[in-house]
Amino acid sequence: MSDLVSRDQAKERLDKLRQEIVYHEKKYYRDNDPQISDYEYDQLVKELEALEADHPELITPESPTQRVGEQPIEGFTTVEHRLPMLSLDNCYSPEELTDFQDRIRKLIPDEPLRYVVELKIDGLGISIFYREGKFAQAITRGDGQRGDDVTHNVKTIKSLPLTIAELSEVEVRGEIYMPFLSFQHLNQERQDREEAPFANPRNAAAGSIRLLDPKEVAKRRLDALLYSTYIAGAETESQWENLQTLNQLGFKTNAWNRRCENLEEVTALYTELLQKRDELEYDVDGVVIKVDSTAQQHSLGHTAKFPRWAISLKFPARQATTRINDILIQVGRTGALTPVAVLEPVKLSGITISRSTLHNEEEIRRKDIRIGDTVLIERSGDVIPKVVSAMKEKRTGGEVEFVFPSHCPICGTQVFKPEEEVVSRCVNSSCPAVVRESLLHFASRRAMNIEGLGEALIDQLFNEGQIREIADLYNLELEKLETLERMGQKSSQNLLDEIEKSRQRNLPRLIFALGIRHVGERTAQVLAARFKEMEVLSQASIEELVEVEDVGPIVAQSLVFFFQQPKNQELIQKLRDAGLNFSLKREESTEEQTLAGKTFVLTGTLSGLTREEARSRIEAQGGKVTTSLSAKTDYLIMGEDPGSKLQKAQNMGTEVLTEEEFLQLISS
Ligand code: IVH
């Protein structure tokens, strides 16, 4: 009997918890308007997980804990679309819209026409079915007729509801995409692990949705914006109404969607969105213009490929042509030799570009890129531009093929390139370039965060013989520092204070800072959590290492190899003698948590520090940075050219800080 009571109570609490979690997920992921802190949210989820563990019979597929399946799937099955997923006719200038309208006018001459304009997100098309109000099936666009069943992966996207109020069959269609922030995180991590980065957010999203392990997909932080819905037996009268229905059902639609009365309004909106494009949190390649009325859409119908009632107006590509003046070789901290194109400086959507990586020898050969070539460069998704292709028709005969060096350009050691790899490396661990880059990495913000120790200073310290290796940082002397160019007493003392602080940085940072191949920030965190002491980690065997989540044989071998090298053992001993924090237990934040519980939003361009720096300073003092304003926002930090957030903050009565006031706040 008592069992029954407790089960009933459990059921009641479960329902309540699930409702609350679903509500907060909607507010956070769909509306960008969090109502509680991440901590409070995590507590709710933990309580739900614990209750479900005690009562596994009460788990339902729609519980928020069930977004991510435990087991990898075997593969994808192909499914036929209910109606084909058509693609869109393209045009490239607002003037061409008149042709589009003329074609429509021929078919429906006298009726009033209205349009809906939507951003064209650069992601992948998806069709999702809800049956009896429950998330049932998600299918990729595929070839338009058939796509792959990726239900398990799409279910991990938190802005998509697992249940909706409508009980008849509902299909929704939209775009799955990877926001810039997630994309940058992912590529950073891949670079740390020496995996090839994704070329743009669209490729990253496409690669992610085809992973077999939903747990991995969940980490990729994909998102979805919907643009149409079909409810059995309840057709909407217009595209605009259709978008409202999506919202009412609980889906995320794009905040920039607008209804326009005529082509002038469409063009004005296009111009506005083109200007806004660099501020968006995701990649777009244009706008989609749709005839609003559903009845008119039906009259217009479609060709084999496109609907006649819609067209996409593309934004101009962020491309430019310029000349390759030279190709240089950079030696990274792992000894990797990377060819870099030195470009004739050229402006590309507001940024002057003068360098671009060519990745490796094979890439140069494959694209047949030569010194002196006129090349097409492109910025997509990321801020880092790439060389798309050489314009061979522009060759004059004076172009020079690049010969990849057989020896390190810095120390002269013969380079080594294993058969199966594309990267050549300098294997001399004392190579000045390798040491310099290792030091830069060690001091970098994500590692030991030694503020002020940048490239210029490191070069000076090297040239003056004040440092030869990482450990020398901890023996720098004030009097000697003062002798360096542009280093007065104050800046020298500041640097020593910063270095002093780094002795207390936590173990995950120290492990990451060592620059062990394939060990990125996240792996460093997992390793610290598992081994707790540098001593224990450095003694761990391959067998012990591969048991750790996220650590495969390559990472394990790399760790064992690193700790076996006498030079590295020496380095670690010296760092220990210098009093660095070698244990997770001894860990304590050196920063006072003066901003604990405070939430910040940034707008505009800061002049003295980057957004990332601002974020890390806030987080170091216990504060939080979110992307959008809400009732929970304590401060809006306003840089130059503030966006619409400033107006919103003033309307909401949120405290607005100038950059100066912000700097005062964090140093007080
Ligand atoms: S409407 C029949 N609206 O673009 C209507 N498509 O080239 C066809 N896309 O496969 C799609 N944003 O993946 C539509 N607001 C939007 C869109 C959009 C992105 C993608 C979609 C489609 C492709 C068509």
Tell me the CA–centroid distance for residue 149 and ligand 1, in Å. Answer: 19
Rounded to an integer, the average pLDDT of 333-359 is: 91
Q: Is the pLDDT of residue 351 over 90?
A: no
> Cα separation of 339 and 318, whole Å?
23
What domains sit in the chain, N to C, each tagged with a CATH number? 2-67 (1.10.287.610), 90-314 (3.30.470.30), 319-416 (2.40.50.140), 432-577 (1.10.150.20), 599-667 (3.40.50.10190)
Average of per-residue pLDDT across 122-147: 96
The reported pLDDT for the residue numbered 621 is: 79
Rounded average pLDDT over 132-158: 96
654 vs 629: CA distance, rounded Å: 9
d(CA 657, CA 637): 5
Q: For residue 120, give the ligand 1 atom closest to its CA.
A: 12
Nearest CA to ligand 1 atom 18: 120
Residue 604: predicted pLDDT: 84
Q: Strands, E, within 427-533: which ranges?
A: none
Q: Which residue has the tokens 């062990």?
A: 516
**Is the per-residue pLDDT at 363 higher than 80?**
yes
The whole-number average pLDDT for the span 109-135 is: 96
Query: Could you say which DSSP state residue 309 is in?
Result: T
Q: What is the pTM of this model?
A: 0.77
Q: What is the reported pLDDT for 250?
A: 96
**DSSP designation for 195:** P
Ligand 1 pocket, mutate which of 86, 243, 294, 312 (most atoms under 8 A from CB):
312
Q: How far apart are CA 184 and CA 202, in angstroms?
A: 12
CA torsion sign, 288 to 294 to 299 to 301? positive
- According to DSSP, residue 285 is labeled E
Higher per-residue pLDDT: 646 or 324: 324
For ligand 1, the distance from its centroid to the CA atom of residue 89, given in whole angstroms, is 10
Whose CA is closest to atom 19 on ligand 1?
120
Residue 467 confidence (pLDDT) above 80: yes
**Would you place residue 4 in the very low, low, confident or very high pLDDT band (cuts 50, 70, 90)?**
low
CB 64 within 8 A of CB 17: no
Q: If you average pLDDT over residues 208-225, what whole number do you get?
A: 95
β-bridge mates for residue 377, sequence order: 320, 387
Q: What is the mean pLDDT of the chain?
A: 92
Q: Which two tokens stand for residue 89?
A: 């006719």
Q: Which residue among 256, 259, 288 is best mutated to probe the pocket of ligand 1, counting the most ligand atoms within 8 A of its Cβ?
A: 288
Q: How far is the CA of 51 from the centre of ligand 1 (A)?
A: 42
| pLDDT band with cut points at 50, 70 and 90 for residue 199 | confident
Which residue(s) pair with 617 in the sheet?
none
Pick from 81-90, 423-432, 593-602: least confident: 593-602
Q: Give the angle subtended at the CA of 354 by the CAs of 352 and 360, to the nearest 5°.
A: 135
DSSP structure class, residue 471: G
Best mutation site among 81, 85, 87 for ligand 1 pocket (most ligand atoms within 8 Å of CB): 87
- Two tokens, residue 322: 């310029």
Separation in Å, CA 414 to CA 194, 223, 339, 408, 668: 22, 47, 17, 6, 53
What per-residue confidence (pLDDT) applies to 1? 43
Q: What's the pLDDT tens digit per position in 157-169?
A: 999 999 999 989 9
Average pLDDT for residues 467-484, to the nearest whole number? 94
Least confident of 147-151, 373-377, 420-424, 589-593: 589-593
> What confidence tier does 613 reach under pLDDT thresholds 50, 70, 90?
confident
pLDDT band at 586 (very low <50, low <70, confident <90, very high): low
Q: Which position has the higher pLDDT, 418 or 252?
A: 252
Asked whether the predicted pLDDT for residue 588 surpasses 50, the reply is no
Nearest to 656 by CA among 594, 603, 612: 603
Q: How far from chain centre, in Å, is Cα 622?
A: 23
Tell me how far the alpha carbon of residue 253 lies from the centroid of ligand 1, in angstroms.
13
The residues that are catalytic are 120
Residue listed under structure tokens 């006719």: 89
pLDDT tens-digit readout, 257-276: 999 999 999 999 999 999 99
Q: Whose CA is nearest to atom 9 of ligand 1?
A: 120
pLDDT of residue 595: 87
Q: Quick one: CA torsion of 139, 140, 146, 150, rounded to 10 degrees? A: -50
Q: Which residue ranges have their beta carbon within 6 Å of ligand 1?
A: 85-88, 118, 120-121, 125, 141, 175, 227, 288, 307, 310
Q: How far is the CA of 84 from the centre of ligand 1 (A)?
A: 12
Asked whether the predicted pLDDT for residue 474 surpasses 70, the reply is: yes
Distance CA 555, CA 332 (A): 19
Nearest CA to ligand 1 atom 24: 87
On the question of pLDDT at 209 being above 50, the answer is yes
Tell how far the Cα of 165 is from the centroid of ligand 1, in angstroms: 26
Q: Which atom of ligand 1 is nearest to the CA of 141?
A: 10
Rounded to an integer, what distance in angstroms lies between the CA atom of residue 587 and that of residue 532? 10
Residue 590: pLDDT band (50, 70, 90) is: low
Strand (E) positions, 59-202? 78-80, 90-91, 115-121, 124-131, 134-140, 146-148, 170-177
pLDDT surpasses 50 at 607: yes
Residue type, 608: G
Atom of ligand 1 nearest to the CA of 306: 2
| Closest atom of ligand 1 relative to the 125 alpha carbon | 13
Q: Count the alpha carbons within 13 Å of 4 in the hemisphere toward its beta carbon.
A: 1
Q: Tell me the mean pLDDT in the region 512-516.
A: 95
Beta-carbon contacts of residue 493 (< 8 Å; ≥ 6 apart): 478
Comparing 375-384, 455-464, 476-485, 501-510, the range with the smallest average pLDDT is 375-384
Distance in angstroms (rounded) separating the CA atoms of residues 196 and 199: 9
Q: Which amino acid is at 579?
A: G
